Structure 1
Amino acid sequence: MFRSRSKDGQASTTQVDDAEPQPRDPQAPKGRPTPKRSEAQNQRRSLAKAPASRRDAAKRTREARRTAMARQREALASGDERYLPARDKGPVRRFTRDFVDAKWSVAEFFLPIAVVILALSLVPSLQVKNISLLLWLGVIVMIVLDSISTSVRLKKALRERFPDESRKGAVAYALMRTLQMRRMRLPKPQVARGELP
């Protein structure tokens, strides 16, 4: 209740009614996707009856976790933003993934090269072992230089594209993604090589 003085000095009262919510505009988006009928019915049924025992509650929790994990696996394969893990969500992370997936990097070939170098180091010849050590050094130097180049270019692209959004952790996320072979990356790459994100 607020009081205000009128010109003649008398106090008038004004009531603010917060109990009545404003009606939602039917044309405005609700901010979430409409669930399928079967999902909505299952959810209503599960909420309608409380678990009878701890065993039922644990079973229901396991089922919910299992469906959430299945949904998350599908999202990692398809790139569906709604069900991705928190570390992969958002436009900054999406751009970072596309930036990494669009180019070749030395780090993604680290595992195959490491297997070849280890095989060479098992050969009893001293010259072959020296060559394998030089290859190790060369691969590590190339990965470091490629990572520095990727970091600088990604930071610049993120500053230009997302000046007002939080870019914290995006470069580390990109470098971890470069260490994975392309076909083993999750979420799956959504852009082709050479395609600008």
Structure 2
Amino acid sequence: MTDKLKVSLRDGETPSQAMARVALTPECLSAAVLVDSKMMGDVDVTEVVDELRRQTAAINNGDLTRPEDMLLAQAHTLDSLFAQLTGRALRSQQRDGLESYMRLALKAQNQARATLQTLAELKAPRQVAFVQQANIGNQVQVNNGTIRQPARTRKSAKAPNELLEVEHGERLDTRATGSAGGADSAVATVEAEHRAQKPGRKGRGRA
């Protein structure tokens, strides 16, 4: 292939450098396989490379006609393989041959399906939506395996108890009896001075 490949030298390049640059391009590597397979007959490899370059340029410009045609042709080829392998499996006289051919037939069928799916996505690309998730709930801090709520949450947890204390007075404490205050002592003194004497005691005083 290298004897027939025509390479143009760039400024400052040696013939060996120019050959290495062109030979490693995707178009040249593909052309080498196509020409070596003898499927194209006696064709100049340089012409094959130039045609592949034109097709690559078309794809870069947004023209996907060639890839679409290629995928459709490959899908037809795979479908043909599926039919041929299925026929051989049915004609097989042994169970091992039946299973072997049917396994290959189903693989060809799956490849045909995948090829058509790729073709469909190429013609109508799927829209990918990027949704940014917002975390609105309270954050929870975890330290050494202990879940610790933020200060705002702890404060709000105490708010109902404080509200009940303000509305309904102090909470009842049944564990200890409180001492009487100054107001209670004054009421006891007034009650002792103005308490009415019982009738029995008055009579005994006169006697």
Give TM-score scaled by structure 1 length.
0.27
What is the TM-score normalised by the length of structure 2?
A: 0.25
Between the two structures, name the one with larger relative contact order (CA 8 Å, sep ≥ 6). 1
